[in-house]
Structure 1
Amino acid sequence: MSSSYEIETKFEVEADTALPDLTTIDGVAQLGEKQCFHLSALYVDTQDLALTRAKITMRRRTGGKDAGWHIKLPASGPHSGRKEIHADLSAAPEPAVGQEVQIPSEFRDTISAVTGGAKLYLIAQVGNDREETQLLDASGRAIMEFCDDRVSTQCFLPGGKPQRWREWEVELAEGVDEVADLLRACESTLVAAGAKVASSPSKLLSALGDVAP
């Protein structure tokens, strides 16, 4: 098991919106490697969505650079980042619709106070075709990661509906100090290109739609 902190911001964007020149973001001098991934995430919660209500997300994701089980915990402040705890894919079986989900044993203590030991079930699936670009400063240091995401989802709760959308996501590299300045610079450039700051804080809440708590 390992953990990290992530600071990210999301933007809603139309399917045909052109990507701006990302080097026009203040602080970004050059672009690094671009990679494409297909990600598939299975989200797990209690039947009454205790984790979602507590702003905790738990998923099993395949594809990309960090395939595995993840728990994201709430941030303590606007720029403090969310703690993300990781476990290997092999730490627990793949969840299936309508069946009680077994989670990595190392996750149980983290969520027990919230779930009270209630059974866990698969609540949503999020598929994502992602184009990911490293944003570098003048020294060549990676300071941010820009993701152009085309998302399709299924909600397995009563009343849930399949959905599709596109979003841009910016995640700051660990150890970057200029957090607020970089986030403001990203917002300025991306909004000018036609994006809007996302009304939903996460893909899971967007996937749940009207059945979100």
Structure 2
Amino acid sequence: MLLALAFAGGSSAAWAQDKGSLDPKPLPPLANPNDPKLGAKELFARKLLPANMPTQSIGTYAKGCIAGAEQMPLNGETWQVMRLSRNRYWGHPDMIALLKRLAAKAHKDAGWPGILVGDIGQPRGGPALTGHASHQIGLDADIWLTPMPDRKLSREEREETSAVMMVRDDRLDIDPKVFTPGHLLVIRDAAQEPAVQRIFVNAA
């Protein structure tokens, strides 16, 4: 599994900063869904629910899909999901279990109220209309390094709040005014998960 610890200046920062919508509109029906020239992203983006099949990740992080995806609950004691309008909070059950486990461990070790969960994947994975090239098989997820507030965020906050810049303006080191030992503990907790293969985080 892959984790991207997202904050301004990080590898997934652009997608963490892209705001969502308070009034998402359904995509219009495709005039010819069987057109062989139609991009796969147009088809996958229109699937609102997972395929009702046994769970299986098919292909690779940047070229694949998932059957039997599980939804990350939008709220938990130690997590909240961001950018709900994207409908990218679906993943392999093992990934969902990992995020819940990591949220509880970060709460215990770092003393945070919890973590903010960004994109995981679409209900059936596959390429998205915007943003990531990866996140296609339900086995990678974005976690904000912004600590979760000790209250339930409003829909507006989830769509429009930006991640906090954790690095200096020159991008060569962390900003000690905002990057705390707690952040280091969250990264350590993620790194100690046996199922995690890679963590993408800003070089600073």
Q: Which has the higher strand share?
A: 1
TM-score scaled to structure 2, two decimals? 0.29
TM-score scaled to structure 1, two decimals? 0.28
